[in-house]
């Protein structure tokens, strides 16, 4: 069956986005304890491109498949995990790039349940909130925003997504903060 990317964020309600998120089936890498440890000879560049032995991986389907196997340890190292092996992968900045964001109101109109929905460079949809917090790093002159995706892996917001989020923040207040699923996040590093 051919791959069908999720619809554009602008076309979806928060409930539809949550349904898309729930439908994504990921491998249960948390339950695997592979004995073989090695190096994947792969790298994820700061711009989100994946490489193997120095060559760009051009097949998006392979990148999507590999991204479902990614983990990040407490020491910051990234791995691709299968039932049989745990292979290191070099990640220059973040494992994912957030390429779009949309503020969506809750189905019942409760403002504290509104959500910020993000699309990643792998076509995944993520709703910021308690399980997927936003964090600002860097300095006030050169901030960088990251979204927790899963298993310690993060997505860095690209420039246009950061600008979209800044517009959302300024439309709500002058505090440079945004709220998603009842949690408030600063767009300025502490």
**CB count, 10 Å around CB of 74?**
6
Distance CA(183)–CA(180), nearest Å, equals: 5
Task: Tell me the whole-structure pTM to 2 decimals.
Answer: 0.90
Q: Provide the token pair at 137.
A: 């790093």
Q: Is 66 helix (H, G, I), strand (E, B) or coil?
A: helix
pLDDT of residue 16: 85
pLDDT in tens, 67-97: 999 999 999 999 999 999 999 999 999 999 9
pLDDT of residue 112: 65
């Amino acid at each position: 069956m051919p791959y069908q990317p999720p619809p554009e964020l602008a076309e979806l309600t928060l409930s539809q986005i949550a349904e898309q998120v729930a439908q994504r089936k990921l491998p249960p890498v948390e339950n695997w304890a592979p004995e073989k440890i090695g190096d994947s000879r792969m790298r994820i560049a700061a711009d989100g491109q994946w490489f193997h032995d120095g060559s760009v991986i051009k097949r998006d389907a392979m990148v999507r498949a590999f991204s479902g196997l990614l983990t990040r340890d407490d020491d910051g190292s990234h791995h691709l995990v299968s039932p049989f092996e745990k292979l290191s992968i070099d990640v220059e900045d973040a494992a994912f790039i957030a390429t779009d964001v949309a503020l969506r109101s809750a189905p019942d109109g409760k403002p504290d349940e509104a959500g910020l929905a993000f699309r990643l460079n792998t076509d995944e949809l993520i709703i910021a909130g308690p399980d997927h917090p936003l964090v600002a790093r860097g300095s006030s002159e050169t901030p960088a925003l990251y979204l927790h995706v899963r298993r310690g892996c993060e997505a860095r917001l690209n420039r246009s997504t950061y600008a979209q989020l800044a517009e959302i923040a300024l439309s709500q207040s002058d505090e440079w903060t945004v709220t998603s699923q009842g949690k408030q996040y600063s767009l300025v590093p502490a």
